[in-house]
């Protein structure tokens, strides 16, 4: 059975001058910590939001079917996102220094694919369900508004969705992909020197 060196051994054997290994290892550990904190934050915030929307539905039972359908779609969007997010987000807990280099590079490639799925397909489904749910939920209240206030409420809601979709979402995806690509490129540069 062939011995596979760990990342630190390869780092020390690199022919080209490599950045400080301890600094790189701490960056990888910081990435995992950041991912763990983000996962906890997403779970907490969406859990509280799901409970709050359920409370609104029970405490103020809607008069129209569109409002109830909006609540169901809104809850479904958040539950779908939570389920897929937790299914695709893995936080690596074992020590990075002793990790097998090939295995860790494969792990980073798999994480990049998962990150792409979460940022594109899952976010698209989430925004479509959430947007449709909120607009349906608003319908009952918009009908009660005098004059053009209802249209203004819809315009503001759709403007907020557009801002998130066209401005914030691409920036977040680009930032996460750039960070992941940086680590992958550094490890791939070492991989080219492996015998």
* Domain containing residue 38: 21-91+99-191
pLDDT of residue 97 exceeding 50, the answer is no
In-domain check, residue 9? no
Query: Does residue 159 register a pLDDT over 80?
Result: yes
Above 70 in pLDDT, residue 95? no
Check pLDDT > 60 for residue 17: no
DSSP state of 168: I
35: left (phi over 0), alpha (psi -120 to 50) or beta: alpha
pTM for this entry: 0.78
Q: Which residue has the higher pLDDT, 56 or 99?
A: 56
- Residue 177 forms part of a structural domain: yes
How many domains are there within the chain? Answer: 1
């Amino acid at each position: 059975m062939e011995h596979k060196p760990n990342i630190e051994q390869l780092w020390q054997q690199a022919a080209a001058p490599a950045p400080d290994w301890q600094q790189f290892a701490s960056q990888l550990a910081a990435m995992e910590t950041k991912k763990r904190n983000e996962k906890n934050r997403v779970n907490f915030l969406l859990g509280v939001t799901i409970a709050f929307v359920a409370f609104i539905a029970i405490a103020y039972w809607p008069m129209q079917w569109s409002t109830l359908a909006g609540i169901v779609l809104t809850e479904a969007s958040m539950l779908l996102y939570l389920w897929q997010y937790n299914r695709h987000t893995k936080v690596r807990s074992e020590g990075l220094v002793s990790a097998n280099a090939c295995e860790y590079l494969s792990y980073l490639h798999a994480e990049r694919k998962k990150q792409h799925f979460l940022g594109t397909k899952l976010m698209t489904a989430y925004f479509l369900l959430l947007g449709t749910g909120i607009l349906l939920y608003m319908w009952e209240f918009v009908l009660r508004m005098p004059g053009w206030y209802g249209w203004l409420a819809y315009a503001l809601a759709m403007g907020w969705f557009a801002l998130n979709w066209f401005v914030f979402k691409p920036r977040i995806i680009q930032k996460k992909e750039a960070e992941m690509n940086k680590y992958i490129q550094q490890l791939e540069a070492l991989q080219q020197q492996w015998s």
